[in-house]
Amino acid sequence: MIPRTELAGLLRNRLGDYLSNEKLDELATEILSLEGGWEELDVTHKEMGYSMSVNCTDICWLANQVDHGAVIRMCRKKPAESGH
């Protein structure tokens, strides 16, 4: 997902005034341990409901952002594998 050093740096920039370096390192490790259960989504994928329609960008913030060139990365929890 994201390199540990980048994640730790981001956490320090945002939360460094509130948490110790030790806590921030623990938090980065904990977040990265979730990686195996998550998958990145393509925001233009049909499951997202984004499609080129006349008014999609007028009613959907996400579609509007993508239409204006924003790069959006989204992740979702991987579906549980069925035992079948």
Domain boundaries, the chain: 1-33, 39-84
How is 19-34 classified by DSSP, letter by letter?
A: S-HHHHHHHHHHHHHT
Helices (H), 16-84: 21-33, 56-59, 61-67
What's the average model confidence in pLDDT over 9-26? Answer: 90
What's the average model confidence in pLDDT over 8-33? Answer: 88
State the pTM of this model.
Answer: 0.42
